[in-house]
Amino acid sequence: MLWLYNNLIALKRYSADIPVFSSSGLTKDRVSNTIFSDTILLWVPDDDGLIYSFTIACEKLVCEAFDQKWYLRGAIAFGPAVMDLEKRIFIGLPLVEAHLAEISQEWIGVGIHNTARERYRSMKAGAPTDIVPYQVPVKEKKIPIQAALNWAIFADSNVKSQLRHLAIEAPAHKEKYNNTVKFIEACASESFANK
């Protein structure tokens, strides 16, 4: 079991290094991250460029984890917080908002909390195109989430068939897998792209 945890740590580290192309050449943005218990936490300072890198890091993490049979559900929230990796102190409303949004979801994917949705909209270059309007499937009596991270644009082409197979193998989670397939299909549809 320790090897699984070590794989997760390696995956987290891999996902946090984001190559950035600019007029000065290729550099790497480093997205801050840590793991505690069953939670992977990624964060960046409030900077448009770093927020783009953060978004890509989240997409990479979901896709790579999926390939290794770690089926992640997450949420992105925005706001002031204390994120002290050295002292292991993590305090702030965005952490609570992300946690509550994450546990309410009924799929494999990343919901965008309203605080993050507003921050993405305020970016000078506009919100990344991989933040998509989508009614995220949530459990009964949970707060609606109206945007999602389109991680599927980086996923392998066989991800839908893998999810359909999982729905048969694990009928208790069938709804989550089917909801994820619906999201991937919606993101790939022509009508969705024109929203």
The pLDDT of residue 99 is 96
- Return the pLDDT at 110: 98
Give the pLDDT of residue 160.
Answer: 93
**pLDDT at 192 > cutoff 60:** no
Is the predicted pLDDT of residue 176 greater than 70, yes or no?
A: yes
> Do residues 81 and 53 lie in contact, with contact meaning Cβ atoms separated by under 8 Å?
no
- For a pLDDT cut of 90, what percent of the chain falls above it? 59
Q: What is the mean pLDDT of residues 138-161?
A: 92
Q: What is the pLDDT of residue 22?
A: 56
Confidence (pLDDT) at 10: 76
- Give the pLDDT of residue 64: 87
Minimum mean pLDDT range among 12-16, 71-75, 176-180? 12-16
| Higher pLDDT, residue 17 or 165 | 165
Mean per-residue pLDDT for 92-114? 97
pLDDT score of 53: 87
Report whether 18 contacts 51 (CB < 8 A).
no
pLDDT of residue 154: 87
Provide the percentage of residues in the chain whose pLDDT is more than 70: 87
Whether pLDDT at 190 is above 60: no
Long-range contact pairs involving 168-175 (C-beta distance under 8 Å, separation at least 24): 175/106, 175/137
The pLDDT of residue 169 is above 60? yes
Best-predicted range by mean pLDDT (1-5, 30-34, 98-102, 151-155):
98-102
In the predicted model, what is the mean pLDDT of residues 41-54? 91
DSSP H or E segment with residue 159? helix 159-169
